[in-house]
Amino acid sequence: MQRKVLTPLAVANETALTNRLLAFQDYYQEIAKLFTWKFTAADLKKRFEAIQAFSFQFSFTPKTCETVY
């Protein structure tokens, strides 16, 4: 929304902004296409395990990225 409608944000008032947002909603509903996610839960688990292994190897904690001493 920010990149497609609100940049640059040059509206005169709240009514103009509302109209701009609603017009984009109508437009997007006409052109939107369905898509299928390709990144599965199993892919996410593998990615997380790889991050954990990397973090452990270099003594980083995944939550804070601070070195563990």
List, in order, residues 6 or more apart from 11 with CB less than 8 Å away. 17, 20
Say how far apart CA 62 and CA 48 lie, in whole Å.
10
Q: Which of the residues in the chain have pLDDT under 70? A: 1-8, 60-69
Residue-level pLDDT at 16: 85
What is the tens place of the pLDDT at every residue in 47-66?
989 988 887 777 766 565 55
Whether 26 and 39 map to the same domain: the answer is no
Q: What's the structural domain count of the chain?
A: 2
Report which residue type is found at 24. Answer: F
Whether 24 and 39 map to the same domain: the answer is no
Overall pTM surpassing 0.85 (yes/no): no
Residue-level pLDDT at 47: 92
Structural domain including 45 reads 35-69
